Amino acid sequence: MNEDFSKLLSPFQFPVSGIQVDNRIVMAPMTTFSGNEDGTVSDDELSYYKERNRGAGLLISACAYVTPQGKAFPGQFSAYSDDMLPSLKRLAAALKENGGKAVLQIHHGGRMCPPELVPGSEPLSASAVAPVREGAVTPREMTELEIEETIAAYGEAARRAVEAGFDGVEIHGANTYLIQQFFSPHSNRRTDKWGGSLEKRMTFPLAVVDAVKAAVKKASDRPFIIGYRISPEELENPGITMNDTLALAEVLSEKELDYLHVSTMNFFGASLRDAADATPRAQLIYDKVGHKLPVIGVGGVSTPQQADMVLGTGVQLVALGRELLIEPRWLEKLKNGQLDSIETALDVHNQSGLHIPTPMWNSLLTRTGWLPLKE
């Protein structure tokens, strides 16, 4: 009996921008560690993206830092100055050359930035609270001026994305980075307008959204996607709970965004805070706001059958991250009915064939258990 994957291959129109993609598959943003020292995109990264630009209808880049103080990874590329425009134009062109829609993810690492990567060797965050990890550095609490300048920097990065030819931006509010740090009661202990109550902890994320929207409205004379990535829960206590996230999602759903990208390691995994709560986090968010704000689900999806199950929850789009590292031709093979030839484990002897830059490749092979490997 032939399986029906027509839903995966059906078009989707984003509600605010009106931009349409040809299918429901999204390339998730994956850190490459492979940019040039000056913050520009490297030739190896462009080769990596060109190999995958047929892999999804919506293609989200690795995160680009919006200020020098926000650089969180060695080899991370940037969008913090107009000097980066030629680099960003090359990236947008590489992603779009086969008809997909290209989205630039914009980001600040906050307290997760290694001191050696940021000016003054001093990571910044909402409050002077170190992350819960071995050897973590305590950041300096941001001043009011630094907060305002950083919000403006997100807007400027969005303007550069418009000028570089991207079809959209994704605001990186997930994965323990700066925007999440302001939302989290663990990392935000402020008592001014930027912290305290749940509503006040939303102030910075919402200000970033407003700055990005205003910058895009001013800079763009064409439809342009604005999305937001969110992590639904934190393990820390105090930490972000599902109720916190549902409250934020409700407010974001009134902001006229095109999508909410729910970052999880396993789409069908249980709650981080309550193992007895097994409902997928993205499904809970969809049930709350999906009628107003489209949801992208991600995490541990390898096969078309799994991707179809994600859409079966109601979630409108499904992102592939690790799987598109392993199988850049995933979407083409699905379209051509070549399901048996879809790879689901990384061929450790095929770095050149997969066009994965060496720093990224080394990271993949040393991150135990993160990817299935084929020796």
Indicate which residues carry an active-site annotation.
Answer: 177
Q: In the beta sheet, which residues pair with residue 320?
A: 27
What are the φ and ψ backbone dihedral angles of 12, each rounded to 5 degrees?
-140, 135
Got the DSSP string for 95-117?
HHTTS-EEEEEEE--GGGS-GGG
Compute CA 62 distance to the chain's CA centroid, rounded to the nearest angstrom.
Answer: 7
3-state secondary structure of 162: helix
Got the DSSP string for 49-84?
HHHHTTS-SEEEEEEEESSGGG--STT--B-SSGGG
The residue among 76, 79, 90, 86 whose CA lies nearest residue 360 is: 76
Tokens of 112: 């997760």
What are the φ and ψ backbone dihedral angles of 151, each rounded to 5 degrees?
-60, -45
Cβ atoms 320, 28 nearer than 8 A? yes
Give the residue carrying structure tokens 């484990």: 345
Q: How many CB atoms are located within 10 Å of the residue 120 CB? A: 10
